[in-house]
Amino acid sequence: MIDVINLEKSFGNVEVLKGITTTIDEGEKVVIIGPSGSGKSTFLRCLNCMEDPTSGSIIFEGEDLADMKVDINVHRRHIGMVFQQFNLFNNKTVLQNIMLAPVHVGVSDIRKAKRKNFFTNIGNIFRKEQRDLIKIDKTKAQVIEEARENAYILLNRIGLADKADVYPSTLSGGQKQRIAIVRALAMNPKVILFDEPTSALDPEMVGEVLDLMKQLADEGMTMVVVTHEMGFAREVGTRILFIDQGIILEENTPKEFFENPQHPRTKEFLSKVL
Amino acid sequence: MEILLNRWLSFWEKIQNPGVYGEVLKGLRNTAYIAVVGLIIGIVIGTLIAVVRVVPKYKRIARILDKICTVYVAFFRGTPMVVQLLLGYYVMLPLLNITADPLTVCVIIFGLNSGAYVSEIMRGGIMSVDIGQTEAGRALGLSYATTMKKIVVPQAVKNIIPTLGNEFITLVKETSIVSFVGALDLYKAFRNIGNSTYEYMVPYLMMAIVYIILVLIITLGIKLIERRLRRSDRRN
């Protein structure tokens, strides 16, 4: 699903990623662990080009996202992202947070299709072979209504439907993060990237977020997770990447990784965190 | 004190003349018109410039626009507004061969001038919004422009309302220079009263009071707007 080929990233003179090659298949739950400053967050942020790779390729659905000519916004719709600091839109209510992107994308698609049809129609006057128009099967109001229904389904799922009309500033960290996760889900992404989703939470709220993530994993969502939660990595992950100094030092199934680490650096790291 | 009272009485008699208070009202209207429309133009221009200046400079077009904006801001902040007014009215109009009444020229110059100041205010506002907000918008597949429009700029505007109020008050007071190009404003109206009686004390005093009242009203208005925009905050 995502092929990462020789990915390198530098900030100025600092080389953060020094050639990472890996493949993330559909349905996989890849957990990335490593010491701080190892480049694991940078790697994750390169996957949807939040950071533009310095060199290398990221092939998502046959297109290279690292190529500046690719319309990254179209691909980002299919790659959800959850941040350490939640990053809910502070000026929008919970419901608006979830609806914003689906509505905007849906409405602008309709607008684009209409514009294209307009020119096709004009062109068709002069063409012998008539070109087909793009079908528009929804109105703007329908898009909005669908997004609203979907948002309520998602909110009900996490039990926060009663918070639909409040602003994020009144919510707890765990609630914010769960809403951030369903906001990503509202776009029906093919893969979700989690950037240390529980690191900014109070210990007692970590559980509710991890539970939601486990549910997603059970439903077969493809996930790439940067985390310090070793328990989660062991339980949910299908593959562990251990990144240090900008390269993948070790890559294995959770069972093998935790019980039988190969690399001395991995052993050292695990002895500290476990 | 007696002098003041006598002069007040003669001023009072004078101002009851419809022609005279009509002129004051017209001056007041022009002052408000120039300041309000000027500020609106300023906010539009300022926001555009601010966005251009914070946009990542990957593309050549972004760098060129950035340079143009730098020159623009340097010019409008670097010369007095009177000079800009005079340049606009006595240089640009004849050069471009346009006829326009002084009031229109004033509104445009005030808008352009305030655009330069608002751009810096707005830039500060945009930079005060957490970068995570932009990242969250972009990660959902929204374009840079949409993210700015729907998420960052609304939050930035909320943060800069007090400073923007300052700018508005400055604009209201700066309108007192428009008589340089022959437009009628509060100052001109009161000066005309003085000119007709050779008695300036009371008209100028009254002028100061009118300005203060105007500014107080604006201050109140800003407070109301701020309170409304702070709904999504916890600090009310």
Q: Considering only A91-105, B4-18, B41-55, which range has the smallest mean pLDDT?
A: B4-18
Best of A89, A181, A193 to mutate (most B CBs within 10 Å, chain B) = A89
- Return the pLDDT at A62: 86
Which residues, 6 or more positions from B159, have their beta carbon under 8 angstroms from its beta carbon? B125, B128, B129
Give buried/exposed letters for B210-231 (b at 16+ CB in 10 A, else e). Answer: bbeebeeebeeebeeeeeebee
Confidence band (pLDDT; 50, 70, 90) for B37?
A: very high
Q: Could you state, in chain order, the average pLDDT of each consecutive group of 10 residues for chain A (274 residues)? A: 90 90 92 89 90 90 85 90 92 93 91 89 84 82 92 92 90 92 92 91 90 91 91 90 90 89 88 83
Contacts of B139 in chain A (CB under 8 A): 48, 50, 76, 79-81, 83, 184
- Return the pLDDT at A177: 93
Measure the CA–CA gap between A42 and A47, rounded to whole angstroms: 9
Q: How far apart are the first and last CA of chain A?
A: 32
Strands A14-24 and A2-11: antiparallel
Q: How far apart are the first and last CA of chain B?
A: 47
Contacts of B152 in chain A (CB under 8 A): none
Q: Please choose, from the candidates B94, B116, B105, the residue with its C-alpha nearest in 3D space to the C-alpha of residue B177.
A: B105
Contact B142 A73 (CB under 8 A): yes
- Return the pLDDT at A102: 93
Maximum C-alpha span of chain B: 74
How many Cβ contacts (< 8 angstroms) between chains A and B? 75
The answer to whether residue B236 scores a pLDDT higher than 50 is: no
Within 206-245 of A, beta carbons closer than 8 Å to B belong to none
pLDDT in tens, B207-229: 999 999 999 999 999 999 888 87
Contact B141 A74 (CB under 8 A): yes
CA angle A261, A267, A271 (to 5 degrees): 120
Q: In the 8-state DSSP scheme, what is residue B151?
A: I
- The mean predicted confidence, pLDDT, of chain B is 89
State the DSSP string of chain A.
Answer: -EEEEEEEEEETTEEEEEEEEEEE-TT-EEEEE--TTSSHHHHHHHHTTSS--SEEEEEETTEETTSTTS-HHHHHTTEEEE-TT----TTS-HHHHHHHHHHHHHHHHHHHHHHHHHHHHHHHHH-SSPPPPPP----HHHHHHHHHHHHHHHHHHTT-GGGTTS-GGGS-HHHHHHHHHHHHHTT--SEEEEESTTTTS-HHHHHHHHHHHHHHHHTT-EEEEE-S-HHHHHHH-SEEEEEETTEEEEEE-HHHHHHS--SHHHHHHHHHH-
ipTM higher than the 0.90 cut: no
Contact A81 B139 (CB under 8 A): yes
How large is the C-alpha radius of gyration of chain A? Answer: 21
Contact A205, A174 (CB under 8 A): yes
All structural domains of chain B: 2-235 (1.10.3720.10)
Confidence band (pLDDT; 50, 70, 90) for B234?
A: low
pTM of the model: 0.83
- Return the pLDDT at A242: 92
Q: Edge-to-edge, what's the strand order for the sheet holding A79-82?
A: A79-82, A191-195, A222-226, A29-33, A239-244, A247-252
Measure the CA–CA gap between A116 and A134, rounded to whole angstroms: 8
Contacts of A100 in chain B (CB under 8 A): 140, 142, 150
Q: In which residue are the tokens 């996490």 written?
A: A158
Contact A169 B233 (CB under 8 A): yes
Confidence band (pLDDT; 50, 70, 90) for B232?
A: low
Contacts of A187 in chain B (CB under 8 A): 140-141
Would you tell me how many other CB atoms lie within 10 Å of the CB of residue A27?
Answer: 13
Strands A29-33 and A239-244: parallel
- Return the pLDDT at B42: 95
Within 186-205 of A, beta carbons closer than 8 Å to B belong to 187
Q: What is the dihedral of CA B223, B225, B227, B232, to 10 degrees?
A: -150
Tallying the residues shown for chain A, one arrives at: 274
Q: For A91, which of B58, B138, B154 is closest by C-beta distance?
A: B154
